[in-house]
């Protein structure tokens, strides 16, 4: 059974591993470049993106991560992981940060503001529901979250979120594309897929809804060509568990 790797330099990697375990799949902590050779797919969790980037650079992870993406292996970035996967990023700290790239988008690093402006909301996710069943809404947990402002033609938008135009301008002065907005609100993109890459601005691992993880596991089985390569005996990826669980909230 192939392992699902979870980048474990910093952030909510334990929460992702816990969800994978609930689905009958083993998640492996990835802390060194050579460990990527042992996994079929990779989750880059949420956390503090600048800190994660510094740790990844210290451990010489970036060349291996870029090669992993180029090989076509499935990679899912949540929150800070989304920033890692983006080809372009704005709103970074002075000096910027190194990116893995591969995802044809422009991401705003801290679009929704500071820690105290974190929030939860319901998101419309018809594509997720069509593939994994369950309701066409999912709970989105946004913690100092980024947002995608632009995507390329090969990027499929899986979820977006409406933001008042005045809030955009006041919170994000100078962000390209906002000044020309003529309506009262505009949508930012918060979930996308491009080939082997999946990215969410929010934290599915902090909810009881396992469908995003199931969706990612199906991406892996599509790449591998056989579900037995990753799913343990008895695991049911069609199950949409709604039972309330006590997961720690990552800050």
Express each pLDDT in 125-168 by its tens digit.
999 999 999 999 999 999 999 999 999 999 999 999 998 766 55
pTM (predicted TM-score): 0.84
**Taking 90 as the threshold, does the pLDDT of residue 175 lie above it?**
no
Residue 87: in which H helix or E strand, if any?
A: strand 86-90
Asked if the structure places residue 133 within a domain, the reply is yes
Residue 113: is it exposed, middle or buried by C-beta count within 10 angstroms (0-12/13-18/19+)? middle
Annotated catalytic residue, options 16, 79, 132, 138: 79
Catalytic residue check, 138: no
Split at pLDDT 50, 70, 90, the class of 178 is: very low
What are the CA-CA distances from residue 236 to residues 23, 24, 131, 141, 217 (Å)? 7, 8, 14, 25, 11
At 188 the pLDDT is 93
118-148 in b/e form (b: 16+ CB < 10 A) is: beeeebebebbbeebebeebbebbbbbbbbb
Annotated catalytic residue, options 15, 16, 205, 213: 205
Number of domains in the chain: 1
Residue 186: in which H helix or E strand, if any?
A: strand 185-194
Catalytic residue check, 203: yes
Asked if the structure places residue 242 within a domain, the reply is no
Asked if the structure places residue 130 within a domain, the reply is yes
74: containing domain: 3-229
Asked if the structure places residue 136 within a domain, the reply is yes
């Amino acid at each position: 059974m192939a392992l699902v790797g979870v980048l474990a330099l910093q952030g909510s990697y334990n929460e992702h591993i816990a969800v994978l375990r609930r689905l009958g799949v083993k998640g492996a902590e990835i802390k060194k470049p050579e460990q990527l050779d042992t996994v079929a797919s990779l989750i880059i969790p949420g956390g503090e993106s600048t800190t994660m980037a510094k740790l990844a650079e210290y451990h010489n992870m970036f060349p291996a991560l870029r090669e992993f993406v180029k090989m076509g292996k499935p990679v899912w970035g949540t929150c800070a992981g989304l920033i890692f996967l983006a080809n372009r990023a704005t709103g970074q700290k002075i000096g910027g940060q190194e990116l893995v790239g591969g995802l044809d988008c422009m991401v705003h690093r801290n679009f929704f503001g500071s820690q105290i402006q974190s929030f939860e909301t319901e998101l419309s996710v018809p594509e997720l529901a069509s593939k994994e069943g369950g309701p066409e809404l999912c709970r989105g947990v946004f913690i100092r979250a980024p947002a995608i402002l632009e995507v390329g033609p090969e990027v499929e938008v899986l979820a977006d979120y409406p933001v008042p135009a005045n809030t955009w301008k006041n919170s994000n002065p100078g962000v390209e594309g906002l000044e020309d907005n003529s309506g009262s609100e505009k949508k930012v993109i918060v979930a996308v897929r491009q080939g082997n890459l999946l990215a969410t601005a929010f934290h599915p691992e902090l909810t009881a809804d396992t469908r995003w993880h199931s969706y990612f596991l199906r991406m892996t089985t599509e790449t591998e060509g056989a579900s037995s390569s990753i799913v343990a005996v008895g695991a049911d990826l069609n199950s949409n568990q709604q039972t309330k669980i006590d997961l720690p909230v990552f800050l």
